[in-house]
Amino acid sequence: MGRTFLHLPRIGLRTEQKLWRQGIMTWDDLEAARNEPSDLFGRRSPLLEAIDASRKALEEGDTAFFAERLPPRDHYRIATCFPTQTVFLDIETTGLSLYYDTITLVGCASGKRYACHVMGTGDAGNNAAVDLIEGAKCLVTFNGTLFDLKFLAKYVPGLRLPAAHVDLRYLVRRVSLTGGQKEVEKTLGVERADGVEDIDGAQAVLLWYEYVSGNVEAGRRLVRYNHADVEGMKPILDHAIVRMAEAGAQSVTALTGRFSSTRSELCFEEPPHGVHVPRFAQPTRSAMTLERLTASLPSGLCVVGIDLTGSGERPSGWCELRGALARTRMIGHDDDIMAAIEQAGPDLVSIDSPLSLPTGRLRVEDDDPGRDEFGIMRTCERMLKRRGVNVYPCLIPSMQRLTARGIRLASAMRERGIPVIESYPGAAQDIMNIPRKGAGLAHLKKGLELFGVTGDYVQHKVTHDELDAITAAIVGLYFWAGRYEGLGTVEEDYLIVPDLERVVRPRRIIGISGPIAAGKTTAARLLETVGFRYGRYSEVLSELASEQGRPANRDTLQQLGQAVHLDPGQRWLNSRLLCRLNEDNDDLVIDGLRWPEDRAFWVERFGPMFRHVHVSAPSNVRRERYPNDGGSVAEFDAASAHEVERGVRNLGALADLVLENDQDLDAMRRLLGERIDARLLEEGR
């Protein structure tokens, strides 16, 4: 540090280099050159006082003093002054996402000493790595600023890191080296030990899962890989220091090989002399089990998971999950998928495919006029990117066919009243602590089995598409249990991912359908009297009529309802109504479901909290009621014959509850009180 002036008052990089060129190489040289007398009160100048403080800090080994005054890009100077107390650190993780992945191993070296902390083993020897890190004067990493240190802060809270940190990722750029650590090592001719020279980050994840499944040798190989990463940083730092010194016209003789000349030793012995890799007591498993997840769900619940491909010519993975039993297969064309859906009769379908476009986009192709303005990525994809999850934008050329197919199939299912959610098995597996297919199908299969899913897939050979389809179906269970997070916006819809901590607050959402004069509005208004927030499709349509300067009568509203159904569609209408309700915590009653898509929409938004009630009454009873509401029999006949009303008849078969309303108001109050809210019975007394 005695050759560093950059931390002193009013000395920047150019001034420092100018001083070096003038032969002023040390603090003593600078003090002599300035020869500044004390002031009237015997005080030295700020520069000389800073030199005095620097000498004292160096003598006491106070590296925090210099770390606070030097820019991070120059912390390498601190390392050169404390070579035996500089620690090289590297971590291994289950993936790249700080949000979803975890640390598996922390390795570090100082001089000839290497220590390793294997996470989750409870091994007392792991303290050696912590002691080494906390006793360091300076820390060296490769990309530690964005990766290692953030993981340590989250998963090893309370770990005391030195104030001085050298991130080689940025330092090597200053000496014209590019690429990741292994690329830089190859450029410099650094050779790794036999047995680990070809291991990369993805294979390191596989080694971890093999280790926690009982393979101790895989754990040792992972440690050897980490040791190679740690040792590989030493020649990189040496090279960068020499190049930086040459650029500053300093002597490099004393700096050559300062770190790489001392290599740490790795031996698998009991600490403190070696690294102990114990056998895991039990295989790793998800923090949530299927039994716990489904404890409050209906026993007959069926979720279909589909790992969709971009073309029917290449079969898609299919899973029908009933309870704990998964039945998987590969299915090709759209017609075959729809036929399988009809046969399964699922409560929910979960598809691994984009099911919507970015807001403002009209179609998937690049000739869409909104391509430049609205881009190729949705909000949910941006959110996953920010969380460190690698996800493809839904409208890059290689994804366009898949996105178009997903939207087409989801629309076909919703037209039948079947709710559909979008899932991403890879992210779900990260969250559930289940190995992805990249870690090996055997580990993914074992993870699903440990989660609690049974079926032929356990013993028989299956494709990775089928295993991802099982995972997609499990996401549907998380959704139905209220343990999920929706990533996205109302306009773009949501990508559903499991959330092990969050439980959606229970609410009651009632959607009421029924033909004209059956009493659906009466039922909805009765529920409003006991605290349900009331919403009606005609409110949105009345706004449209007003915008168009048309009267908001039944004929106009039916015409608008039919036009909206065709374009922009029922999901747009439902989204507008939902936004009007401002529904943060209230129970809701939705008056006037007309199409199966309406039912699908509300299930997709609220899962099991939504119940579809169909109010019915004989035609002759409805004809008698209609004139009492201010209409005529002729108007009733015309309205009943409208296309919108004809579709209502199909909703009865989809409803959770059908109420036959062929009596008076008190009878309707009693029916609703018995089946939905007992407070109505109290009000009726």
Q: Are residues 608 and 639 in the same domain?
A: yes
Please state the domain count of the chain.
Answer: 4
The number of beta carbons lying within 10 Å of the beta carbon of residue 579 is: 12
Distance separating alpha carbons of residues 376 and 366, to the nearest angstrom: 9
pLDDT of residue 602: 95
Q: Are residues 235 and 203 in the same domain?
A: yes
Question: Which of 203, 238, 255 delimits the end of a domain?
Answer: 255
Query: Is residue 334 one of the residues assigned to a domain?
Result: yes
Task: Identify whether 568 is preceded by a cis peptide bond (ω within 30 of 0).
Answer: yes
Angle, helices 633-640/619-628, rounded to nearest 10 degrees: 130
Please write the tens of the pLDDT for every residue from 390-408.
899 999 999 999 999 999 9
Distance separating alpha carbons of residues 91 and 100, to the nearest angstrom: 16
- Residue 234: domain span: 76-255
Query: Is residue 184 one of the residues assigned to a domain?
Result: yes
Distance separating alpha carbons of residues 230 and 110, to the nearest angstrom: 10
Q: Are residues 468 and 514 in the same domain?
A: no
Question: Which of 255, 279, 314 delimits the end of a domain?
Answer: 255
Name the token pair of 527: 């529920």
Q: Are residues 209 and 347 in the same domain?
A: no
Q: Which residues of the chain have pLDDT under 50?
A: 124-125, 253
Q: Are residues 400 and 449 in the same domain?
A: yes
Q: Are residues 570 and 427 in the same domain?
A: no
Distance separating alpha carbons of residues 433 and 471, to the nearest angstrom: 12
Distance separating alpha carbons of residues 232 and 36, to the nearest angstrom: 46
Q: How far apart are the first and last CA of the chain?
A: 89
At 270 the three-state DSSP class reads: coil
Question: Which of 205, 232, 255 delimits the end of a domain?
Answer: 255
Q: Are residues 126 and 249 in the same domain?
A: yes
Name the token pair of 83: 């070579």
The number of beta carbons lying within 10 Å of the beta carbon of residue 458 is: 13
Q: Using the structure block, give the residue that is written with the tokens 């790795």.
A: 266
pLDDT of residue 479: 95
At 31 the three-state DSSP class reads: helix
Query: Is residue 569 one of the residues assigned to a domain?
Result: yes
Distance separating alpha carbons of residues 447 and 289, to the nearest angstrom: 11
635-657 as b/e: b if 16+ CB within 10 A: ebeebbebebbebbeebeebbee
Q: Are residues 373 and 438 in the same domain?
A: yes
Name the token pair of 146: 């964005």
Q: Are residues 607 and 482 in the same domain?
A: no
CB-based contact 657:614 (threshold 8 Å): yes
Phi, psi of 479 (to 5 degrees): -60, -50
Query: Is residue 285 one of the residues assigned to a domain?
Result: no
Q: Using the structure block, give the residue that is written with the tokens 């890879």.
A: 426
CATH number of the domain at 180, please.
3.30.420.10
> What pairs with residue 667 in β-bridges?
none
Query: Is residue 658 one of the residues assigned to a domain?
Result: yes
Distance separating alpha carbons of residues 458 and 431, to the nearest angstrom: 22
CATH number of the domain at 631, please.
3.40.50.300
In Å, how far are 229, 605, 678 from 518, measured between CA atoms? 73, 27, 22
Query: Is residue 132 one of the residues assigned to a domain?
Result: yes
At 193 the three-state DSSP class reads: coil
pLDDT of residue 517: 87
Query: Is residue 345 one of the residues assigned to a domain?
Result: yes
Q: Are residues 553 and 480 in the same domain?
A: no
The number of beta carbons lying within 10 Å of the beta carbon of residue 602 is: 23
pLDDT of residue 254: 52
Query: Is residue 264 one of the residues assigned to a domain?
Result: no
Q: Are residues 238 and 340 in the same domain?
A: no
In Å, how far are 90, 155, 389, 475 from 149, measured between CA atoms? 9, 10, 18, 31
Angle, helices 537-547/554-566, rounded to nearest 10 degrees: 100
pLDDT of residue 245: 81
Q: Using the structure block, give the residue that is written with the tokens 């990117």.
A: 385
Q: Are residues 543 and 633 in the same domain?
A: yes
